């Protein structure tokens, strides 16, 4: 994969004058072969910068809850000025699937030519691109908000995103120790064993509080609908990536966490105000949406982000459609 970020010169695949030829289909194995954590971080950093420069057009997310199966669908899309392709991503999360021997997340992405509207490719990624672009967004947020020296990364959760967050975070920060907690002990132990294979020292925490009080960078990656992290557990200098509140009704942070933070960063202000951690803080009259900073504003140089080592910083990451267009365009560029 190209490291320079989004490919602005990607030619239209599968089209010819007068109609549409067969649209290429790429599977998960091929996509994994060209989209690495380092490459994803480069692409997503570039995408947030372009967003901060006002070069994205992002419609509202379609969220569909399947309460009877403890599942959900998200449909996201966006146009990025200068990028030849637009992605329409359908992602699912069904949280009882692991007990059935199935992955909790899946999905696919349809890619279209931004100049003609014609189909360019179908990416049968099984949710991989969503997973890696979410991990990359956490790394980009931590790169501008976490302290330069990171000794311990704390992780609450033991699912797919807990893995991608750590892998992508290693692109922007050097660390050797992870402390993790999850309510399901067997999954936590399996997660710890994977991290140890990546040559990381891992401590299994007794509860979420121990993770919060130990971490220099705290990753919260769960489908929780009740707060897990309390404001009083956050210590000066910690940076928090909160990822789980990506649809209505979800919440991982006590709303007072955002009130206590010195800098609250959102991936998309309107989206986070609608269903991210920010919504709960707004509902409690603890913080106004205007008191937050969009991550793209920092990448574009309009806001400094963290300014002292003692600040508490929080990134509320709900996942934005321009991330999907960016990562899908990069995948097609590498595979075409």
Report the C-alpha gap between 219 and 142 in whole angstroms: 10
- Burial, 195: exposed, middle or buried (Cβ in 10 Å; 0-12, 13-18, 19+)? buried
Among 290, 227, 299, smallest CA distance to 257 is for 227
Phi then psi for residue 121, to 5 deg, are: -170, 160
Helix locations, the chain, DSSP H:
28-34, 37-52, 128-145, 160-172, 185-197, 208-214, 256-260, 269-275, 277-283, 295-299, 321-335
Residue with token string 């089209």: 15
Residue with token string 């999954």: 187
55, 76, 89, 100: which is the annotated catalytic residue?
89
Half-sphere exposure of 3 toward its Cβ, with a 13 Å CA cutoff?
A: 3
Contacts 24+ apart (CB under 8 A), 183-190: 184/158, 187/98, 187/158, 187/159, 188/158, 190/158
* DSSP H or E segment with residue 26: strand 25-27
Whole-angstrom CA distances from 5 to 32, 160, 172, 193 are 17, 24, 15, 32
Q: Does 250 qualify as catalytic in the annotation?
A: no
Q: Residue 165 is encoded by which pair of tokens?
A: 């967050």
Strands 177-181 and 239-242: unpaired
Three-state DSSP class for residue 198: coil
Among 105, 106, 39, 50, smallest CA distance to 78 is for 50
Phi then psi for residue 127, to 5 deg, are: 85, 0
Q: Which residues are catalytic?
A: 89
């Amino acid at each position: 994969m190209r490291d320079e970020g989004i490919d602005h010169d990607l030619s239209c695949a599968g089209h010819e004058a007068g109609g549409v030829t067969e649209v290429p289909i790429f599977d998960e194995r091929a996509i994994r072969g060209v989209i690495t954590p380092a490459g994803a971080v480069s692409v997503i950093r570039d995408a947030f910068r372009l967003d901060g420069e006002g070069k994205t057009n992002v419609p509202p997310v379609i969220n569909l809850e399947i309460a009877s199966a403890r599942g959900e669908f998200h449909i996201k899309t966006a146009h990025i000025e200068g990028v030849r392709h637009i992605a329409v991503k359908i992602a699912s999360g069904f949280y009882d699937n692991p007990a059935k021997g199935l992955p909790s997340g899946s999905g696919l992405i349809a890619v279209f030519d931004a100049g003609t509207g014609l189909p360019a490719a179908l990416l049968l990624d099984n949710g991989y691109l969503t997973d890696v672009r979410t991990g990359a967004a956490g790394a980009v947020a931590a790169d501008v908000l976490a302290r330069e020296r990171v000794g311990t990364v704390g992780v609450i959760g033991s699912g797919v995103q807990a893995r991608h967050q750590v892998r992508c975070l290693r692109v922007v920060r050097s660390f050797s120790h992870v402390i993790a907690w999850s309510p399901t002990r067997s999954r936590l132990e399996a997660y710890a064993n994977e991290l140890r294979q990546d040559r990381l020292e891992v401590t299994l925490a007794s509860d979420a509080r121990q993770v919060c009080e130990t971490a220099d960078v705290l990753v919260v990656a769960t489908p929780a609908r009740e707060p897990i992290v309390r404001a009083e557990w956050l210590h000066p200098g910690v940076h928090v990536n909160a990822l789980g509140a990506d649809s209505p009704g979800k919440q991982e942070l006590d709303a007072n966490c955002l009130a206590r933070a010195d800098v609250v960063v959102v991936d998309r202000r309107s989206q986070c105000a609608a269903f991210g951690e920010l919504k709960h803080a707004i509902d409690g009259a603890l913080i106004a949406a205007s008191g937050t900073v969009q991550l793209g504003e920092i990448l574009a140089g309009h806001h400094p982000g963290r300014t002292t080592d003692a600040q508490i910083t929080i990134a509320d990451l709900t996942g934005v459609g321009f991330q999907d267009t960016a990562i899908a365009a990069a995948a097609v560029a590498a595979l075409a």
